[in-house]
Amino acid sequence: MSHVAPTFPSRYVAVGDSFTEGVGDELTDGTVRGWADLVAGVLSAQWISTDPAGERTGYANLAVRGKLLGPIIDEQLDAALDLHPDLVTFAGGGNDMLRPRADLPSLLRLLDLAVARLSDSGARVLVFTGADPCDGLPFGARIRSTGDRLGVGVRKVAERRGALVVDLWPIEELRDPRYWAADRLHLNSIGHQQVAARVLDLLQIGRPAAWSVPVGSPEPLRRTAREELDFYWEYVGPWVRRRLTGTSSGDHRPPKRPVLAPM
């Protein structure tokens, strides 16, 4: 894995879908936090520790849940570039991957063009392969096969465009159900912590000592028929209905942090 010198960005912009928005890491007031917020908080704190008189890292998060890769690029890329970031995290394609007829060559061409534009702006760019949720999902084997091929493509795009890769897909540890929310599709609070930790490791910026992994091996999953029925009723059914009606969980939802501001 390649590393970069530990420098603190002054303008950090996060682009993506529910993974970057922070779904699964819900706070008591009903808002979501997520790994990008955690990274931004560490960047601001460490900026202060190295330059108390300096301005803290500005952070914008343009991600919106439910977005496919094309709409992420159409709706967020220009807005991100208009903020003149020196660090951009770009994560997309996870929702496309869940579709049975995902067109991977087209997705990867879109990703390549987007990463090229971001890199040409002078920003340091981080792209992602997502954590693997397939053990808990219907049609998990098919989704994993698509994710394997998407991951290969993402790595090639990053190498070609000089971006860094936060490569989560191959990490078997992150398949541990203790990292996942009740919907089995989004990481929970400790899952998001682990993503943030890996982003900071790649940037060679120290992570909080309190961020830790679950202790011991996970217990074998023993879900009851009732639990499976509840899961399908509460999560799978609504997802299928949205596909049939052409709607998204992110429809009419604005980005949670469209303006650069310190955490």
pLDDT digits (tens, 9 = 90+) for 95-132: 999 888 889 999 999 999 999 999 999 999 999 999 99
- E runs forming strands in 130-227: 164-167
Predicted local confidence at residue 218, as pLDDT: 62
Predicted local confidence at residue 50, as pLDDT: 56
Domain boundaries, the chain: 11-222
Six token digits for residue 139:
């049609």
Give the pairing type, strands 257-261 and 58-61.
antiparallel
| Least confident range of 91-100, 114-123, 135-144, 161-170 | 135-144
Judge whether residue 93 has pLDDT over 80: yes
* Superfamily for the 11-222 domain: SGNH hydrolase (3.40.50.1110)
Neighbours of 249 (CB within 10 A): 16
Judge whether residue 41 has pLDDT over 90: yes
Judge whether residue 35 has pLDDT over 80: yes
Predicted local confidence at residue 51, as pLDDT: 58
pLDDT digits (tens, 9 = 90+) for 181-201: 999 899 999 999 999 999 999
Give the pairing type, strands 11-15 and 58-61.
parallel
Predicted local confidence at residue 5, as pLDDT: 45
Predicted local confidence at residue 1, as pLDDT: 47
Predicted local confidence at residue 122, as pLDDT: 96
* Alpha carbon distance, N-terminus to C-terminus of the chain: 29
